[in-house]
């Protein structure tokens, strides 16, 4: 199975770049399944239902989120009526929406996608992500109820992300980190066969501070005083993500490599998809 994960869409420039390029990527690379993190798609803070639906229409099979999931008030309402929209699974019981789901890939494979949020340097501090993952895996084991299992681990600390990867190694197909908006270079297949990347990066303007116009963040570092609101940067976006090939026989990863398309970072498409 060929899976593509795209990191956090930031603002209009990030989301429109994904919408423009994703249909062609699905066709050209013969992708079976696509996941996009959309939690910063609405002006850098949260996501609206229209943006979510447009992302699905562009070809995403699932849209994941993170700590900004509720920044747009309408998300509380639409989270419960859209199965392809995931919020972190370790929110308390009774939170609108859901944190995981079983979906069908274009090749017919059953794909379990789970969205979990870390707790180190993260707000709000949610329930134990490791316990949440254990519950998800117990309910839908790899190669029993699911042909592939993907975790979007939305977290700040790379140590927490790495430990989470080792925790589910051999029981999940792929663990990808989101939240920091900076792509890491540690893509690998862990000892048990789980593909891992600490952070997929963002889909947004990299002439910025994490996708936000750089002037106000820079001012706050220097003066310690806000001058205005944070605004999403509006320059040309670079799409950042990661491609994974998953064995149909074992549900574990066989190949992993970054995908980057745009003006700022060196463009790369996984060699095994060329």
Residue 40 labelled as part of a binding site: yes
Residue 218 lies in a domain: no
Q: If DSSP states are collapsed to H, E and C, what string results for 174-238?
A: EEEEECCCCCCCCCEECCCCCEEECCCCEEECCCCECCECCHHHHHHHHHCCCCCCCCECCCCCE
Angle in degrees, 0-180, between the axes of helices 49-57 and 11-29, rounded to the nearest 10: 20
Residue 181 labelled as part of a binding site: yes
Residue 224 lies in a domain: no
Cα separation, 43 vs 158, whole angstroms: 26
Count other Cβ atoms within 10 Å, centred on residue 139: 12
Whole-prediction pTM value?
Answer: 0.98
Residue 97 lies in a domain: yes
The pair of structure tokens assigned to 142 is: 């790899």
pLDDT digit string (tens) for the chain, length 274 residues: 999 999 999 999 999 999 999 999 999 999 999 999 999 999 999 999 999 999 999 999 999 999 999 999 999 999 999 999 999 999 999 999 999 999 999 999 999 999 999 999 999 999 999 999 999 999 999 999 999 999 999 999 999 999 999 999 999 999 999 999 999 999 999 999 999 999 999 999 999 999 999 999 999 999 999 999 999 999 999 999 999 999 999 999 999 999 999 999 999 999 999 8
Residue 228 lies in a domain: no
Angle in degrees, 0-180, between the axes of helices 129-139 and 158-168, rounded to the nearest 10: 20
Residue 31 lies in a domain: yes
Cα separation, 10 vs 210, whole angstroms: 9
Cα separation, 273 vs 119, whole angstroms: 35
Cα separation, 233 vs 130, whole angstroms: 34
Among all residues, which ones are annotated catalytic?
Answer: 68
Residue 166 labelled as part of a binding site: no
Residue 8 labelled as part of a binding site: yes
Residue 229 lies in a domain: no
- The domain spanning residue 127 has which CATH number? 3.60.21.10
pLDDT for res 247: 98
pLDDT for res 274: 81
Total domains in the fold of the chain = 1
Residue 219 labelled as part of a binding site: no
Instruction: Domain of residue 162: give its range.
Output: 2-206+237-273
| C-alpha dihedral, 205 to 202 to 242 to 178, nearest 10° | 170
Cα separation, 193 vs 169, whole angstroms: 7
């Amino acid at each position: 199975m060929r899976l593509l994960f795209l990191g956090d869409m930031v603002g209009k420039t990030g989301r429109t770049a994904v919408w423009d390029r994703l249909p062609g990527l699905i066709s050209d690379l013969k992708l079976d399944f696509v996941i996009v993190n959309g939690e910063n798609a609405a002006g850098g803070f949260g996501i609206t239902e229209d943006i979510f639906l447009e992302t699905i229409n562009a070809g995403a099979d699932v849209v994941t989120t993170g700590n900004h999931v509720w920044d747009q008030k309408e998300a509380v309402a639409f989270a419960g009526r859209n199965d392809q929209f995931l919020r972190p699974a370790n929110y308390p019981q009774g939170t609108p929406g859901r944190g995981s789901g079983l979906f069908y890939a274009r090749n017919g494979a059953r794909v379990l996608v789970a969205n979990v949020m870390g707790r180190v340097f993260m707000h709000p501090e949610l329930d134990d992500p490791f316990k949440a993952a254990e519950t998800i895996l117990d309910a839908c084991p790899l190669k029993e109820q699911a042909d592939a299992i993907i975790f979007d681990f939305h977290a700040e600390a790379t140590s927490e992300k790495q430990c989470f990867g080792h925790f589910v190694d051999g029981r999940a197909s792929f663990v990808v980190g989101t939240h920091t908006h900076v792509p890491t270079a540690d893509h690998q297949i862990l000892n048990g066969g789980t593909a891992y990347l600490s952070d997929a990066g963002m889909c947004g303007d990299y002439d910025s501070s994490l996708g936000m116009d750089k002037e106000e963040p820079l001012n706050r570092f220097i003066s310690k005083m806000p001058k205005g609101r944070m605004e999403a940067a509006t320059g040309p976006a670079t799409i950042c993500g990661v491609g994974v090939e998953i064995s149909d026989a074992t549900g574990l990863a066989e190949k992993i490599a970054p995908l980057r398309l745009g003006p700022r970072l060196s463009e790369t498409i996984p060699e095994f998809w060329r």
